[in-house]
Each structure stands twice: as C-alpha cells, then as structure tokens.
C-alpha cells in the first residue's frame, strides 16, 4: 500500500457540488487552474505539448461509500464502478481537461468538474489508441436513448 499525497490543488469556479453540471448532455466547459506544488513543478516539463490531460484527484469532501449508485442521468441503480459517483471505496476522481496554457507551476485548463481546493494526485497526457467506433457507452447509451424518446 501507499499513502497518496497531493501534487497540487484545483482552483475552480465551483464552491459546491450542486454547481457542477451533471446528467445527460452536461457540458464541462468551465475553466480553472491546477496549481502544482513547488516540489513537483519540474515534473511539468514538456506538458504544454499536449492538448488534453488526465487529472487524478481526490473526492476530499465525501464521506463513506456505496457499491450501488443512481446517477443523475438515469433513474436506475448501477454498480459504483459503472458510474462516476463520488461515493467510492477509494474516493479517486478522473477528469480529462483541455490544457489552455501553462504558466510555470500553473496549468490553465478547460473542462473542470472539481470543487475549488480539490487535491490533485497525478496528471498524465491524454492518449488513447481506442477508435471511437469500438467504444461502448453501456447503460448510459440506454439512458440517453430513453431521454430522447
């Protein structure tokens, strides 16, 4: 086991979870800043060459977990590992953001869906070799179809 520690913190327009867009058709266009702690700034070398980044972060204001969740985009329960519910056994979030600019230890990003002050555990360049036609959207595709009828 290991004990995770933040490499930085999110500066976000969202102060409460209720402010973050959720559900079918939700658009994540909010801009924010990921402030990397000084000890980790060197790790940002060459990050500006990537258009998008994976951000791993902590749901630091959630207590407890549930193995079943009813997401805002469906009225049925699903296993927590088939959702983006914050109430997880390990409260780790994953978001893909667009890198707008880097200024030393600050990454200005678009697509933020985290609360202001959220601890960031890691950042990785967004790379995917899975073609769109091979991706499946599981229960979400069914919920979207029901919403459009």
pLDDT at 56 over 90: yes
Higher pLDDT, 52 or 129: 52
pLDDT at 149 over 90: no
2 located within any domain: no
DSSP labels, 65-98: --SEE--TT-SS-EEGGGS--S--SS-EEEEEEE
Q: Are 112 and 97 in contact (CB under 8 A)?
A: yes
83 located within any domain: yes
Note the pLDDT of residue 12: 98
Distances (CA, A) of 128 to 3, 51, 96: 28, 13, 12
pLDDT at 118 over 90: yes
pLDDT tens string 12-48: 999 999 999 988 788 899 999 999 999 999 999 999 9
- The arithmetic mean of pLDDT across residues 100-120, rounded, is 97
Range of the domain at 65: 8-147
15 located within any domain: yes
54 located within any domain: yes
In this prediction, residue 130 has a pLDDT band, given cuts at 50, 70 and 90, of confident
Note the pLDDT of residue 32: 98
Domains held by the chain: number: 1
Assign residue 23 the CATH number of its domain. Answer: 2.40.30.70
- The arithmetic mean of pLDDT across residues 68-81, rounded, is 93
Kindly state the percentage of the chain with pLDDT values over 90.
75
Q: Would you say the C-alpha torsion 17, 21, 23, 28 has a positive or negative sign? A: negative
Cα 147 from Cα 74, distance rounded (Å): 9
pTM as predicted: 0.90
1 located within any domain: no
59 located within any domain: yes
Both structure tokens of 41: 């700034």
Among 60-64, 71-75, 88-92, the minimum mean pLDDT is found in 71-75
User: 112-127: b or e for each residue (b if 16 or more CB lie within 10 Å)?
Assistant: bbbbeebbbbbbeeee
40 located within any domain: yes
110 located within any domain: yes
């Amino acid at each position: 086991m290991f004990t995770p520690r933040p490499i930085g913190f999110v500066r976000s327009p969202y102060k409460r979870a209720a402010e973050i867009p959720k559900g079918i058709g939700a658009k994540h266009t909010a801009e924010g800043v990921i402030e990397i702690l000084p000890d980790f700034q060197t790790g940002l070398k060459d990050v500006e060459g990537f258009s998008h980044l994976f951000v791993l972060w902590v749901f630091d204001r959630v207590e407890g977990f549930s193995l079943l969740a009813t997401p805002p985009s469906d009225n049925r329960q699903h296993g927590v590992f088939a959702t983006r519910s914050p109430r997880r056994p390990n409260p780790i979030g994953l978001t893909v953001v667009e890198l707008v600019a880097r200024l030393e230890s600050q990454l200005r990003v678009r697509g933020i869906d985290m609360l202001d002050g959220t601890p960031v555990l890691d950042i990785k360049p967004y790379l995917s070799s899975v073609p769109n036609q091979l991706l499946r959207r599981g229960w979400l595709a069914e919920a979207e179809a029901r919403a459009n009828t």
